[in-house]
Amino acid sequence: MLSPRRLLHLSRRRCFATKSHYDETVVYKYASQQIKPVSIGQLLKYRRQPLSVENILDSVGYTQAELPVRLAKRVISFHKLPFIVGTNPHIARVYNQYYEAFDRLHAFAPISDLEAEWDFTRALERQTQVLLDVIPTIAQGFLECQLYMPREERTSFINDLIRSRIGLRVIGEQHVALSYQFREEQKKAKQNHNAAVSTAVEPGRVGLGATGEDVWVGAIHTRLLPARMMEQCGQMVQSMCEMHYGTAPGYYVDGDVDETISYIPSHFEYITCELLKNAFRATVDFSHSSNRSSHPPIQITITKGEGYVGVRIRDQGGGISKDNMRNVFEYSWSSMQSGDSADEHGANGGGSLMAGMSLQTNLALQHGIGGPIAGLGFGLPMARLYAGYFGGSLDIVSMEGYGCDVFLKLRSIEGSVENKQI
């Protein structure tokens, strides 16, 4: 006879897709292994061009060994959820997405050549796309299950899931980017060689693209211009605002506009687009509710510090009420739900959690100014978690009845956080 504890364990898992005993054994085998963290410095070790076959095989070796372990641990974490939470279709869907990702990646034989590496890279790239909607889905699931799980446990689970997801994406996308970068270098080298031969230029003097303009190391941009990124994000969010409301405030970027930072552009885009969407929407809403004849512009100021860049986003969107300020960084809280008509930085923080600007833009435009998790209360806590992942911070100062100042601090990946373990 099964013990009550064993019955509870089994009941918690029945909500998820049925797997064979063999499948379950494999998952637990991987989940029992220790995670092998990689530092930012190790990810940057390929900064010297050109990339070699040995570099790519070394990168894929770590990626292939590490990602299934991390995915398996996420799969097992879902087994620990209360039964009624696990029966939620949104949460069950995310569970299955993680299981399928594990199942596809762990099935690859050890990679020892470029052909196998390319097959794995393409599979990894496709799997990354499949997992893009994990956060909007899990946000909806936990919103529906608030009564069945204490807030502290929900917060702990979500934080672990998001931190794990960031690590998975950084490791996976870094290898995918390096693989594409390697093949692009090989293509250029071949073209340069052919050009040298056809013009009788000594082949040894032909460059391989390793110029001062080579600022990418996989997915990391070593000379990112925050001011330029803010201009791009501002244009995108302004277009979204106009499509959704029929009107939008202006914006301008000032301060240390020539300052650069070493960072992952997709992370920068996600954080700043979330903050800008709040500022634009709050400004339009407050203009409407206060009968303001025109929208005051949103001011974006860039500042430089020792090993970091600061961004201040100042709006005149009515600010956040004192009561709501206590909740803006809580998961599954939204001022859209609370009925706050002022600046809703805590509400529509949710947005498209996509990796690249083009994909992020396309999905965000489909879902409007709030993005696909608007009103689910995930945007600001997630933006702060992303900012803090590499040692940065996110703070808000509100003047109720006037507007908000949002202070974002991002540390340069090269330098002070190179020892950060992922």
**Looking at this protein, which amino acid is placed at residue 86?**
G
**E strands, 373-419, in order:** 393-399, 403-411
**What pLDDT, on the 0 to 100 scale, is given for residue 91?**
94
Question: Among positive and negative, which fits the CA dihedral 323, 328, 332, 338?
Answer: positive
Which tokens belong to 130?
A: 């499949």
Indicate the burial class of 324 (C-beta count within 10 angstroms; 0-12, 13-18, 19 or more).
buried
Which pLDDT tens digit goes with each residue over 137-180? 888 898 888 889 998 898 899 999 989 988 998 899 899 999 99
Query: Would you say 72 and 31 are in contact if contact means Cβ atoms under 8 Å apart?
Result: yes
For residues 388, 408, 249 and 402, what is the CA-based torsion angle, rounded to 10 degrees? 110
Query: Would you say 159 and 385 are in contact if contact means Cβ atoms under 8 Å apart?
Result: yes
pTM of the model: 0.79
Gap between the Cα atoms of 157 and 400, Å rounded: 33
Which pLDDT tens digit goes with each residue over 245-262? 899 999 999 999 999 999
Which tokens belong to 85?
A: 């939470």
DSSP string over 204-267: GG---S-STT--EETTEEEEE-HHHHHHHHHHHHHHHHHHHHS----EEEEESTT--EEE-HHH
Which pLDDT tens digit goes with each residue over 328-382? 888 765 544 444 433 444 333 333 323 333 334 333 433 444 444 345 567 888 8
Question: Among positive and negative, which fits the CA dihedral 17, 22, 25, 30?
Answer: negative
Domains within the chain, CATH numbers bracketed: 4-183 (1.20.140.20), 219-411 (3.30.565.10)
Q: In what order do the strands lie in the sheet with 298-305?
A: 251-255, 298-305, 308-315, 403-411, 393-399
**What pLDDT, on the 0 to 100 scale, is given for residue 346?**
37
